[in-house]
Structure 1
């Protein structure tokens, strides 16, 4: 039998609020605390107010600092190590059955999302302020803000299919174009634009129709092809200048992408 660790934040001043379809828990973690490997029985939203932590999941490390918003699907295993200062956050457990008739949000709850700043994080910040009011009106407002938050995330997701890209995704493509000749991993690129590698990989493919690796490879091939026609440099130099590890790797990729060898490409097009 699998043991499920309920990852409720331990807090000196924590409180739990239940709304239709949502359970909200505010809590604090001490400096350098660790939450062992666990998963949640329901999809969760986590918003970091102060401090921060690193989350480890699926072989990736994800840094969450203030104004970070994280959506984790039910059953997704991870563990957390907190920074050297006290961390204060809000955990929202979401009951998927509330959104059975709302396909865009139901689909969203199966995804892992990690965003730093932006419209959805601003809604989360307003949610925290509203909860601090502590009256009946705050509960009504909080429910509305939670629905607005999920709608914002779902619209960002849907906007990719219409060709509209969030700023961080455009930033990611700009970085790929600037640094394609060097070493650039998916994890490093995700860190630079402030999202989880899984979020970046999924939205990059949906937004641009290819993976980050495929785009890097295509840019390197295009540069190498230009150098083959415009210079007399040897193949080894062209390969390294375009970002390939060696001439053999370059020739194999070039032949696969261009359906001809680099030497033949140069000879027949000059």
Structure 2
């Protein structure tokens, strides 16, 4: 089985940045298929543009722009790239990075597809730092610590067997976030009282319902920006914002820059 070394991905590498225990790689995928292989270190794959299919011993993931995967070290998988342009951003973490910070890398098992919008928004910040910061080491280290903390919380919540309605609600919100959702509608679908839903939502999602929906909308907007022909007005409409000014305001609150600045960085050579 192929053993991929640090910074080695299958395509044309736009840029590789070596930091203290962290490697950032921006790669355009060129191989229609990559057979079973594993990587030397734990790493995240973040699809910036296009589509890729990835399979491991347990699951197959259909990944499009905005999809994010985590692999612990030496976790075997394969890739299939459909026709068209596909670009991925990778963040590799060496074991000594975990050890130096007294973090347990073994708690991050196997492969998983990450849906948490907080983690994705943080990874977009890592990507932008790699493009605009002359010395991205410190901001990347800080952002990665936040990512690992939230990822560990996500894995722990699965192990703690959260109520079924929480998983059902999260799936529903990911599918219908652009709709004009009401507390009464969600409560009726979940068959729980609106007060119970409103009171317990922050316990499992660490923010209120309205804020979580805004995060999903902005995360979706970020992925749609990979389609260069879409205007910001079209993106705002597809993501369920009332108008472009509302979209711009929410986007800036969560990303510390406006949509046009992010898009310029995304397509920066």
TM-score (structure 1 length as normaliser): 0.55
Q: Which residue of 2 aligns with 1:34?
A: 33
Q: Which residue of 2 aligns with 1:115?
A: 114
- 1:116-153: per-residue Cα shift (whole Å, max 9, x none)? 351111111111111110412x3321221122111111
| Equivalent residue for 1:150, pick from 135, 148, 151 | 148
- Conserved 8 A contact 2:2-2:36: no
- 1:191-220: per-residue Cα shift (whole Å, max 9, x none)? xxxxxxxxxxxxxxxx9xxxxxxxxxxxxx
**Mind listing any 5+ residue stretches in structure 1 that lack a counterpart?**
175-206, 208-270
Could you tell me how far apart the structure 2 residues matched to 1:109 and 1:23 are?
Answer: 18
Q: Which residue of 1 aligns with 2:90?
A: 91
**Residue 19 (str. 1) matches residue 19 (str. 2):** yes
**1:60-209 → structure 2 map (5 Å cutoff):** 60-100=59-99, 105-116=104-115, 118-136=117-135, 138-160=136-158, 169-171=167-169
Mark the structure with the bigger radius of gyration: 1
Deviation (angstroms), 1:74: 1.6
- Conserved 8 A contact 2:13-2:25: no
Could you tell me how far apart the structure 2 residues matched to 1:173 and 1:140 are?
Answer: 34
Cα 1:168–1:118 shift into 2, 3 Å: farther
What value does the CA root-mean-square deviation take over the aligned residues? 3.1
Could you tell me how far apart the structure 2 residues matched to 1:36 and 1:13 are?
Answer: 19
Deviation (angstroms), 1:87: 1.0
Deviation (angstroms), 1:157: 2.1
- Conserved 8 A contact 2:10-2:34: no
- Conserved 8 A contact 1:53-1:82: yes
Cα 1:113–1:44 shift into 2, 3 Å: same
TM-score (structure 2 length as normaliser): 0.55
- Conserved 8 A contact 1:47-1:70: yes
Could you tell me how far apart the structure 1 residues matched to 2:81 and 2:151 are?
Answer: 26
- Conserved 8 A contact 2:22-2:94: yes
Could you tell me how far apart the structure 2 residues matched to 1:65 and 1:105 are?
Answer: 30
Report the count of equivalent residues. Answer: 172
**1:38-49 → structure 2 map (5 Å cutoff):** 38-49=37-48
**Mind listing any 5+ residue stretches in structure 2 that lack a counterpart?**
173-203, 205-269
- 1:210-242: per-residue Cα shift (whole Å, max 9, x none)? xxxxxxxxxxxxxxxxxxxxxxxxxxxxxxxxx
Could you tell me how far apart the structure 1 residues matched to 2:26 and 2:51 are?
Answer: 14
- Conserved 8 A contact 1:9-1:28: no
| Secondary structure of the corresponding residue to residue 3 of structure 2 | coil
Cα 1:19–1:9 shift into 2, 3 Å: same
Q: Higher RCO, 1 or 2 (CA under 8 Å, sep at least 6)?
A: 2
